[in-house]
Structure 1
Amino acid sequence: MKLLLPALLLALSVHAVKREDFKECGQTSFCRRLRPLSTKSESTDFASPYSLGAPSRASASQIGVPAKDAAWSFPLSSTMYPDVAFELRVDILEGDIARVRVDEVGSVSPWRRYNETAKWALLNAEPAHGAAEITTKNSVTSIRYGQDLTLRINHAPLRIAMVRGGNEEIVFNDRGLFHMEHFRAKEMPVEEEVVETEGEEVKTEEGQVVEGAEIKTEPEDQQPFEATIDRSWFETEDGDMFEEQWKRWRDSKPKGPEAFSLDISFPFAKHVFGLPEHASPLSLPDTIGEGSYYTEPYRLWNVDIFEYVADSPMALYGAVPLLHAHSARGTVGVLNLVASETWVDVAHTKGVQTHWISESGIMDLLLLPGPNPTSLFEQYAALTGPAQMPPQFATAYHQCRWNYNTQGEVIEVQDRFEEADMPLDVTWLDIEYADEHRYFDWNKKMFPDPIAMINQVAKLGRKMVAIVDPHIKRTDSFRVYKDSLDLDILIKKADGNNFDGWCWPGSSVWVDFFNPKSWEWWTRMFSFDTWADQTKNLFVWNDMNEPSVFDGPEITMPKDNIHDGGWEHRDVHNINGMLFHNQTQHAISVREPTKKRPFVLSRAYFAGSHRFGAIWTGDNLGTWEHMAGEAAMFLSNSIAGMSFVGSDIGGFFGNPGDEMLVRWYQKGAFMPFMRAHAHIDTKRREPYLSEEPIRSYLRDALRLRYTLLPAWYNAFHDAATKGHPVIWPHYAKYPGDETGAAVDNQYYIGDSGLLFRPVVVEGATSADVYLAAGEPYYDYFSSRMFPARMKPRNVTIDTPLDKFPLLIEGGHIFPSRERVRRSSALMSNDPFTLTVALGRNQNAEGQLYLDDGETFAWESGAFVHRGLEFKDGKLRSAPKVSYDAGNAYAQSISNVGVERVRVLGLNKEPKSVTVAGEEVQFEWDKGAPSAKEPRAAVLTIKNPGVKVVDDWEIVIA
């Protein structure tokens, strides 16, 4: 976000997030009502009032699956409201995922609970069902499925546990905190009625006897489960249940209260990870209980929050309701598919206990069995789809600021990068390129010939990105506004009229992308016929899509606004930005006759957004504190599928000094999405503007990113095909290492073995790195060796300003390209270097994946995918997967070879190196194995004469 009035920024101090603009739990009616359940449940008399009837096979009409599949429904009732009926449905899905849903049924109310979140988040809203067996005995239903998994369902009181090997690993309603508010009419105060009858005397307050009256009594409620059910435990009287006022905004709440609460416990867990997006540690600390790290729950509510706090549970721009629960014993996960405002408490008590409170919607809970992080990544991808495979250029360096103001300035930036010998792939334009902030309409005074500008940038293989925000200027002279009116596709106010609010163009409206009528129209907006001032080398940035509304509550849209289907904005808020992102990336992909991979950056996101492109962490500050906390944010997003993530290099706000800028570029070179960006009021800080030696340090960081692009591309391909994260936290690589589970200031790049740890402390001349047990590690820059140890440990690495910790774990092979050019496109036919970091058993393995970097032809087999293995003194290349080695793409790079092989850690000097019986040149550096800081032996094989598309073997004798 940028401030509405840039001058306003000058009045703000550092860390000046306006907390008063954003609610806390106690200022939100439903959270205020339901959060206290967790403390009330500590009463010995407390028990859940919910119980289940007998299961029946779920019909296709209920959940859209054949009756023979593993799906059952249970009547669910509450002793507090015996006249209100609910239904609980259980599905066992492929991949041994259990899905549990609860909805109100048979209500006389005209309202419905929102039940379409899965439609947008899951790749298939009704995933294929697995096999299961069900038995019910003594009010306990057991559903056996998968390998030694049982869903044990206690009917009274309601409790569901996922059991593996006799041990409970996930428990729903363990503490009895499940509660679903039902639809009801607002109770109006009535005068007390005196009923004339025979019998007991009735007296007035003054003590006078009322003749012929008696006291009416209700029959005593049955108290199930030998516990007292106090209705006040579950529903505190709240004057805001049917209408809520916050500051100057009124929420009409036409459906009344419809919040729900659930508790999920992980009895064996020591850590929980996930719930992005928050600026918090990766291992989520407690939010409740004595001595808790935070006092507020983690909030999932997409908001535009500038200058966010570097360590806080406050809501940010995205919301993925996914948790991993972990200990050395195993890892399991839950995905709670709800798109309304949600608060989550965490307490490390009896394992880890979590309490989720959501404003509206059905309960749709998916239990992911793991039993390890890699399995969880693959199970989550099976549900939500794998990540989008980005175009090659998008994995390189992006240069942005608010704003490059003229066409000449854009060209100057290109020229200055070239003069400084700094690589660059993408130049970005913020909101000032658009005439009166009417996106699609160029300001022709400043950009008189956009096509000529884009073409000039493209001469060096570079691209451009222009911002297209969701707010549309409300003026009849703007074609996009006129179209949206004619099609009647705008979001409505509660009274049915089109909603308008204030954003960058002034008075604005917002398209309802839940309305299918908007989809084809939005695709047409990006066609070359409609938007003539573009080329195939222009891509898109979707900002402000939470949505950001400057004059709205919490800088967003009123909750009682109406979307297609009659759903309120409160029901769909966290999905809203994802739909805008989805439709934009689709429009970019189909604007050419041959479908191309789109690149669209989004700020708002939800579960499943990884299918549509990249995100970034929003309006960070140029402070050491913000820089230090971002690795944890990247990792939290990555385990929830959002691997294509980065932050604004240098910070969006502020003017970093030389040291901070160097450290941020070094860190940026190892962010999956590498972009420099800055606020309009900051000083210009393009890397070529720095004086020496700072300029060289920045150049080195940029060139290192380009050198390692093949390793990054391998990781992005694994994300797109397996659902694996691009960057891996330690607990995911080494789930059995309890000591390092919470490490969140370093990470691994895909399966390359590269371990990166940013330097984020001012003046630091050394940094500690946590190393897993079992394998040696090698310093990428110096070949210093850290021998294998049987236990994990911390090692200290010197970090003068031009250095930072980058290690290679033994047992891995990764590809690189050492000839750095002005853009990644110009490197597409360059030869490769293979780095072989030998493990303690003198073996290693890796991969090299290549495709055209542009189209979807890779999905039809147009790629090269080689498996690399070093074993018994031989380095071999063979197909990693089965594919046609003669495909068109492979033929196009048939002359691309390997120009160098570097082997680290070989235990003796070779006598010869041969390829197909012919000796090839090599160099031997014996290293310093016995020194205080041992340096690995390095074997360098020059020009071995092998091609990347071929099978080959290099023999080291």
Structure 2
Amino acid sequence: MARTFRLAVAALLVAVVCAVDRNNFKSCQQSSFCRRHRAVKPGESPYVILENTLSVTEEGVSVDLLNERTRVYFTLELYPLKDATLRLKINEKNPIRQRFEEPYALVGGTLAEGFELVDRSADGFTLRFGSSRVVVRSKPFQAEVYNGNDLVISLNPRGLLKFEHYRTKPQGEVHPEGEEDANVVPPPGDVEDDTDGLWEESFKGHSDSKPHGPSSVGLDVSFVNSHHVYGIPEHADSFSLKETTSTDPYRLYNLDVFEYELDNPMALYGSVPMMISHTSRQTSAIFWHNAAETWIDIKKLPDSNVVSSITGFFSGGESDPPQVSTHWFSESGIIDLFVMLGPRPLDVFRQYGALTGFNNLPPLFSLGYHQCRWNYNDEEDVRQVNENFDTHDIPMDVMWLDIEHTDGKRYFTWDQHKFPHPLEMTANLTARGRKLVTIVDPHIKRDQNYFFYKENHDRDLFVHTKDGTEFDGWCWPGSSSYLDLTNPEARNHYSDTYMLDRYKGSNLDTFTWNDMNEPSVFNGPEVTMQKDNLHPGLSVEHREIHNVYGLLFHQSTYEGHLRRSENRLRPFILTRSFYSGSQRSASVWTGDNTADWGHLRITEPMLLSLSVTGITHVGADVGGFFGNPDTLLLSRWYQAGAFQPFFRAHAHLDTKRREPWLFDSETLSIIRNSIRQRYQYLPLWYTLFYENELTGAPPLRPLWVAFPEDEGGFGVDNEHLIGSSLLVRPVTEEGATSASVYFPPGVWYDVLDLTLHQGPATRTVSAPREKIPVYQRGGSIVPKKERVRRASSLMRNDPYTLVVAPDANGNAQGSLYIDDEHTFQYRQGQFLYLGMWFEGSVLTVKKVDPRGKYHTGSWLERVIVLGRTKRPSKVTLTSSAHGTQTLESHFEPASGGRVSRLTIRKPGVTMNEDFTITIQ
């Protein structure tokens, strides 16, 4: 029996390292609720507003909504929120059981200070809030949301609203509509005559019992005057989302997908049901607040035969605007929709962050380079890798250990033969300024001699089956149980296990990687947990909270890290599974990618989709997780990763070793230079992440964030901006020695060869193997540290270099943030936030936030000014500490297509004081 079990587990483990088999994952046709919502006919909406039930409170308005076909009543609620945001909720008015409302994603959503109900009549009403308004039409129900006089978003314009009310399971024959109460029998018109899968559904031998019957919800949302929508990660697809009229809808259902396919809407590891529309006039977004399985159809309607902004249905009128029609439907829950009206990209990021939270400023080391594989063999292996980075003069901040470091896949333990001295091993890393990350997954080995399993089992803190017994699924340890993370006691107990007296062998320099937390269940339907499993903590089925399970796990990990340092040190957590709000507690990577050029290419749109939906500390496994990259692919991947927020090399157990020094000298040199270039730009990355916490603005950005009116950049997803200062175009074509780059409006300086490019224009630029095209925007000042050391912590008090790239008018600006790089003391005023301006040949640097009191040991080593027309006669520094003094400078005139370069040497001023540098 034991041998049979081991063989079965071994077979599963072999299966999970093979390429994805799409047959293991549902299509829309195999999902009964997806079929039913796609079958809803436009223009036949049965939902009407009962205007005489309208009620107004201090928070908003509510009104009854009737499905005239089923005679079931619903409640529509509208809540105007601060900052041009509207919340719309639709729920059953008298359900036979309470419907689930996801409680974990939201952290804000402050009510507007005032609103006004106007134009109330039998045909509907208008709700004004600030400069925005929502016009609600009664029959059929439709809501149009305006920013000023511009119609931005229309809700239910095609009449696809469908809300499957709870009902009791029919016994025997299903009667025609009207012969039984609607709460007992689902009328044929309510389910489009498709009754297969209402009460039970099977897929590849797995049965989903659906004890509460059909409960799905859906609504169509149109973005008026739009051609492009973005977001709803995670999919390995283009950044500007495609039409789904001839494919499956985009699916949001967190799944463990191996070697995922590219350029399709299949679900992957995480779900953020947030979509952004951007036009040259307006940026807007919606957040579909539902953690159940969700599908989204997209149809792009041109200038004719579009949804009428007056009637709400297809009119064919020549005057109707183009729009992107989207159709959202989830298996359960309620309709809880947030509309964010911008009107510009940075406004939407702020509005969404106010709802789900902002990315907390990460510790600086997490922005450095990370070295990982499955698995480093033992302590000696870790020691040699650590030392080889120094031997070969390559910076590195973090070493990672995968599942093999544990005692038989028992998390919070160590293999006593391979890792007998974990604290000593970690001390060898920290002596060089580095950190350690270990993995902790949610599947808990079912072993009564394993302390963590026994503690949770004895307290009944695991997920149950539909029959109420402890769920037993298979994952890396074999037979496993899964924490019921809806139970606060389970979350607290898990968090407490990170305390140093419980997680033996860890210390405050040990950080955590949460993998497999979709959750992955090797023998479950679609490699995940059965939907009819029970979470006793909230008394809900797994189907209700599936997409938020990973968030609950990494959020509890984050809390554990806070507790172990008494809330003093910033945690660093990496998660594979995520949901809206994950940015508050974790970084994300794109999962089990493959060592091929297609997976390198798709990294750009995947990271852009994550970044614009709040998940900002993101990256992809450099080199690809599966397979063995050749030296050309590997070096190009390092170049790309060096200019992405999270920079980690990682590889599968069965791949060849890939440490940089194992390759030829040319490849080693390219990798070294890429990593060193990353470390030079750490001050820029760190400043952007501080601003990300304040405003929600992502460090990695699509072109339209900085150039909202430039339509040439709306569809670009093979390049990105870092803040608004650097334009990066990774080379993702095999054998390419040049690249086609789209330059947005303005002037752009090549950061290496100082050639100048004028936009808007698309140009072919030279990109030999050793070069990634990177350009500094004219009008920017970029802070750097050019004394690269073995780890970022050793650079803390090193001097800065400021690179000034003037625009066409000779002006530039930037910012610089400084603190201790790892504690929360910045929230008590221990920081410096500096503004930098270059105007009229005068550079001014001064504090822009007077609350900042941090004292840094860093000073200004040099200033580089690009593009001057002549050699200066004199350069002077003026500051409170130094008075006025003359500085040395070196001028390199323009030649051979290069712009001039003025280097101002050793100003010597500390970054603690305000100063000016004048070029005469």
Interval containing the TM-score (normalised by the shorter chain): over 0.9
Counterpart residue number, 1:41:
42
For residue 8 of structure 1, report the CA deviation from its aligned partner. 7.9
Unpaired segments ≥5 residues, structure 1: 59-66, 194-215, 222-229
Paired AA for residue 157 in structure 1: P
Shift in Å, 1:7:
8.5
Once the two structures are superposed, what CA deviation does each residue of 1:155-199 show, in whole Å capped at 9, x if it has no partner? 111000102343321011000000100111222334999xxxxxx
Where does residue 32 of structure 1 map in the other structure? 35
Please identify, of 935-944 and 300-309, the stretch whose mean Cα deviation from structure 2 is larger.
935-944
Distance in 1 between the 2:425 and 2:178 partners?
83
Aligned to 1:155: 138
The equivalent position to 1:615 in structure 2, one of 555, 570, 588, is 588
Distance in 1 of aligned mates of 2:15 and 2:30? 27
Q: CA deviation at 1:260?
A: 1.2
Output aligned runs, 1:557-576, within 5 Å.
557-563=529-535, 564-576=537-549
Secondary structure, counterpart of 1:303 in structure 2:
coil
Match of residue 767 from structure 2: 799
Amino acid at match of 1:314: M
Measure how far apart 1:251 and its partner are.
0.7
Alpha-carbon distance in structure 2 between the residues aligned to 1:517 and 1:389:
28
CA distance in 1, matches of 2:544, 2:195: 21
Q: 2:48 aligned with 1:86, yes or no?
A: no
Question: Please, which of 613, 618, 622 is the counterpart of residue 640 of structure 1?
Answer: 613
- After superposition, residues 106-125 of structure 1 pair within 5 angstroms as 106-107=94-95, 109=96, 111-115=97-101, 117=102, 119-124=103-108
Q: What code does the residue aligned with 1:708 have?
A: Y
What is the DSSP-based 3-state SS (H/G/I as helix, E as strand, rest coil) of the residue aligned with 2:554? helix
Partner SS for 1:348: strand
Secondary structure at 1:660 match in 2: helix
738, 750, 759: which one pairs with 1:779?
Answer: 750
Partners of 1:613 and 1:592 lie apart in 2 by 17
Aligned partner of 1:205 in structure 2 is: none
Tell me what 2:4 maps to: none
Question: How far did 1:944 drift?
Answer: 1.1
For the pair 1:145 / 2:138, whether they are aligned, the reply is: no
Amino acid corresponding to residue 215 of structure 2 in structure 1: E
Instruction: Measure how far apart 1:137 and its partner are.
Output: 2.2
Distance 1:910 1:262, change over 3 A: same
What per-residue deviation string (whole Å, max 9, x for no partner) do you get for residues 259-314 of structure 1? 011100112111000000011111001001xxx4xx11000000000000121100
Once the two structures are superposed, what CA deviation does each residue of 1:597-649 show, in whole Å capped at 9, x if it has no partner? Answer: 00010000000100002010000010001101110000000000111010000
Paired with 2:383 and 2:175, the residues of 1 have a C-alpha distance of 80
Deviation at 1:54, TM superposition (A): 3.4
Q: Where does residue 77 of structure 1 map in the other structure?
A: 66
Structure 1 counterpart SS, 2:633: helix
Aligned-partner residue type, residue 612 of structure 2: I
Tell me which structure has the larger Cα radius of gyration.
1
1:594 Cα offset (Å): 5.3
Residues 707 and 746 of structure 1: CA distance in aligned 2, closer, same or farther (over 3 Å): same
- 1:448-487 pair list within 5 angstroms: 448-487=420-459
* CA root-mean-square deviation: 2.0
Deviation at 1:218, TM superposition (A): 8.0
Tell me the CA shift for residue 10 of structure 1. 8.0
Cα drift, residue 513 of structure 1? 1.2
Does the Cα contact within 8 Å between 1:95 and 1:130 map onto a contact in 2? no
For 1:829 and 1:812, the matched residues in 2 are separated by: 24
Structure 2 counterpart of 1:506, from 469, 478, 483: 478
3-state secondary structure, aligned to 2:243: coil
Pair 1:244-2:245 in alignment: no
| Cross-structure match for 1:431 | 403
Aligned counterparts of 1:508 and 1:614: Cα–Cα separation in 2? 26
Pair 1:339 & 2:254 matched: no
Distance 1:462 1:235, change over 3 A: same
Please give the alpha-carbon distance, in whole angstroms, between the structure 2 residues aligned to 1:178 and 1:666.
Answer: 47
Q: 1:740 to 1:191 in 2, by over 3 A?
A: closer
2:684 is aligned to 711
Q: Deviations over 1:62-91 (max 9, x none)?
A: xxxxx423x111111111111x22101100
Name the CA shift for 1:510/1:421 in 2 (closer, same or farther; >3 Å).
same
Q: TM-score, normalised by structure 1?
A: 0.90
Moved more, 942-951 or 651-660: 942-951
- The equivalent of 1:206 in structure 2 is none
Give how far 1:231 is off: 5.4
State the distance in 2 between where 1:703 and 1:379 align.
Answer: 36
Following superposition, the deviation at residue 870 of structure 1 comes to 0.4
For the 8 Å contact 2:255–2:527, the answer to whether it is kept is yes
Aligned to 2:110: 127
Do 1:80 and 1:231's aligned partners in 2 also have CA atoms closer than 8 Å? Answer: no
**Residues of 2 paired with 1:750 and 1:729: CA distance?**
10
The amino acid across from 2:719 in the alignment is Q
Displacement of 1:53 in angstroms is 3.0
Q: Which residue in the other structure is 2:358 paired with?
A: 386
Write out per-residue CA displacement over residues 795-827 of structure 1, whole angstroms, 9 at most, x where no aligned residue: 221111001100001000011011111100111
1:861 aligns with one of 812, 822, 829: 829
What TM-score, normalized by structure 2, do the two folds share? 0.93
Between the aligned partners of 2:381 and 2:10, the Cα distance in structure 1 is 21
Residue 873 of structure 2 corresponds to residue 911 of structure 1 = yes
The separation in 1 between residues aligned to 2:179 and 2:458, in whole angstroms, is 58
Query: 1:918 offset after TM fit, Å?
Result: 1.6
Match of residue 286 from structure 1: 243
3-state secondary structure, aligned to 1:318: coil
3-state DSSP of counterpart to 1:833: strand
For 2:685 and 2:49, the matched residues in 1 are separated by 51
* Alpha-carbon distance, 1:9 to partner: 8.4
Quote the Cα distance in structure 1 between the aligned partners of 2:236 and 2:613. Answer: 15
Task: State the secondary structure of the residue aligned to 1:423.
Answer: coil
Give the direction of change, closer, same or farther, for the CA distance of 1:305–1:245 in structure 2 (3 Å limit). same
Alignment of 1:124-203 (within 5 A): 124=108, 127-135=110-118, 136-147=120-131, 149-190=132-173
- Asked whether the equivalents of residues 9 and 474 of structure 2 are also in contact (C-alpha less than 8 Å), the reply is no
Distance in 1 (alpha carbons) for counterparts of 2:491 and 2:377: 31
Q: Give how far 1:693 is off.
A: 1.2
| 1:924 aligned onto 2:891 | yes
CA displacement at 1:48 relative to structure 2: 3.5
List aligned pairs for 1:750-789, cutoff 5 A: 750-751=723-724, 753-773=725-745, 775-787=746-758, 789=759
Tell me the SS of whatever aligns to 2:545. helix
- Residue number in structure 1 paired with 2:316: none
Contact 1:731 1:742 in 2 (8 A): no
1:577-616 matches, within 5 Å, as 577-593=550-566, 595-616=568-589
Distance 1:319 1:680, change over 3 A: same
Q: Does structure 1 retain, via aligned residues, the 8 Å contact 2:47–2:65?
A: no
- Aligned partner of residue 915 in structure 1, secondary structure: strand
Shift of 1:520: 2.3
- How far apart, in 2, do the equivalents of 1:794 and 1:269 lie? 24
Distance 1:495 1:51 in 2: 41
Q: Deviations over 1:119-157 (max 9, x none)?
A: 211113x6333321002124221001122x110000111
Aligned residues of 1:55 and 1:72 also touching (Cα < 8 A): no
- The offset of 1:247, in angstroms, is 1.7
Q: Which runs of 4 or more aligned residues in structure 1 lie more than 6 Å from their structure 2 counterparts after TM superposition?
A: 3-14, 216-219
**1:270 alignment partner in structure 2:** 227
CA–CA distance in structure 1, aligned partners of residues 347 and 52 of structure 2: 33
Q: How far 1:93 moved relative to its partner? A: 0.7
Write the distance in 1 (CA, Å) between the matches of 2:540 and 2:625: 35
| SS at 1:605 equivalent | coil
Percentage of matched positions with identical amino acids: 41
State which of 188, 192, 195 in structure 2 corresponds to 1:235: 192
Q: Note if 1:375 corresponds to 2:375.
A: no
> 1:395 pairs with 354, 367, 382, which one?
367
Which of 527, 545, 549 aligns to 1:555? It is 527
Partner SS state of residue 375, structure 1: helix
Q: C-alpha offsets along residues 485-516 of structure 1, whole Å, 9 cap, x if unaligned?
A: 12221111111111110011110001111101
Asked whether the 8 Å contact 1:296–1:313 carries over to 2, the reply is yes
Q: Quick check: 1:312 aligned with 2:269?
A: no
Residues 819/401 of structure 1: CA separation in 2 closer, same or farther (3 Å cut): same
Map of 1:818 onto structure 2: 786
CA distance in 2, matches of 1:164, 1:468: 46
1:20 maps to amino acid: N
